Chain A
Amino acid sequence: MEMAACRGVWVFAEQTHRKLMSVSIEMLGCGRKIADKLNTDLTALLLGHNVRDLADQLVAHGADNVYLAESELLTFYHSEAYATIIGELAKKHRPEVFLLGSTSTGRDLAPRVAAKLCTGLTADCVSLDVDERGQLLQVVPAFGGNVMATVLCPRHRPQMATVRPGVMKTPTIVEGRHGEVVEIPVDLKQEDFNIKILDVVTEEPRAAPIDTAGVVVAGGWGVGNIDDWRLIEELARSMGAAVGATRPAVDEKWASEDQLIGQSGKTVRPRLYVGVAISGAMQHLVGVQDSKVIVAINKDPNAPIFKAADFGIVADFRDVVAALADEVRKLK
């Protein structure tokens, strides 16, 4: 797209079962700041069926405009229909920035739209800002996780980025804010597409939620096997904590995807985080850095996590974790 002609910040307002996802509200807060710095409008894209009443919430949380596309076809996320509508809107209105929550929907939709527009997309950003030239600064962990990278999209528009839920703060509601709702006519039919959504089924999560827990005990690759993973769960139980995990621990199936902490998982902000047998790759640390107190237990004295911890214990966790659980129980 011709760069100079591109103006405006867009946020995809994801809804499911006619409820807005919390990450979409978080993206509005982030998008509002970026739009103000660029001295431009913030537009929310709302697609669904009978979702008009959600537009007020989008305006109250910072949107200047809401593009509202309603059709029965859009009741649930339909990759072809959503990408077609958003791609055409973007070609017509030419936004300079387009932000989406990195949910199962956002991760599926954003690349399809980016390819339609032949533009760049940075996934799972941990911070977003604007430089003095008005370029979007997209920060992600890089190269195995020891450093952070600032990514730019210098010659293509829109600059697209996704952010995981919980990374950005929820903006406060401004009562009495005014915004314009623009209805986007939808003349697409199911017959136009190659995929069809038959049903959406909800299943209960397996583990205690880590993103709302006051105390989180997390384990990493160094735990070594599923039997020793029980020690992590035992320590968590003694502390009334939720159990978190790094990507390698989830890949080993010691823990579920729900328990993943970090860039591509959840961001946690407990009062106490205990990282056990975790070396401390940046991809994990970005998800725990807002914890009030960080404790690290690792047998390698040079593990990077010790530099990010308030208290460190250099030991084989198998020696310490049971003793620690015993001492915690004595406190009660």
Chain B
Amino acid sequence: MRFRRARTLDEALDLLAELGDEAQILAGGTDVMIQYLDGQIAPGTLVHIEGVEELAMASVNHRTTLGPLTTHRTLATDDAFATAHPALAASAGTVGGWQTQAVGTIGGNICNASPAADTAPPLLVADTEVTLTSRRGERRVPLTDFFLERRRTALEPDELLTAIDLDPLPTGAGEVYLKIGRRGAMEVALVGLAVRLGFAGDGTVASAGIALCSIAPTPRRMPDAEAALIGSRLESGALDAAAEALRAAASPIDDARASAAYRIRILRGLLERAALQCREAATR
């Protein structure tokens, strides 16, 4: 194995053009190093991009742009993010401990494409688009189309994730990320749920975003469940219908952490809790 440092975006793209699928991008390393040490990956070259300043910029505006090197710690503790993206901030604060959050990046969390990626559900409900750049050019891909299957993404071997664009929480809307684990810290989500709801003046749901992780091979939006809530006042019948849509779209696994049956069973209660918290946050 080799190790190459990219100090600028140009250098990183040149290295990827040269090395293709021999290259493994290394940023904070909290996933890549575990996988390398465990023999799950055997890259020809580690391309270290942590020092590329162009990829570390972040701005909150009418549309938020995050450089992929933005760390979980920044997302979890920066006040501007917490106001514009409360669910994303909450999710980033649940990714491992401080040691992981201090160097682990949002770009890494996305590109690792774990079924349990905590930041994915909040990004999905914020209509996130990712920019993929190579020497051949640049393309923008909705995050829903970026996750192909477990640990597989739409990135071509010579492409680098260079920007993450998402919608801040609109006025009159609320959003939450709720994560079920066996304990309060250092937990891989048994189920992670992000809900973003907008409300009309009469209190009915005007817009809905619902996304889950740890419930299918990839994190995903749940459009049928969203449709079931739109126009409702979160009555129990509407929540029943939305939960049924979640169950229909879910294909969780049994593993050492939880059974598939348990993951399915908690969806209704989790959805209700999230929806009511959205309403409360929106009316504050």
A binds B: no
Residues of A within 8 A of B (CB): none
Q: Which residues of B contact A (CB under 8 A)?
A: none
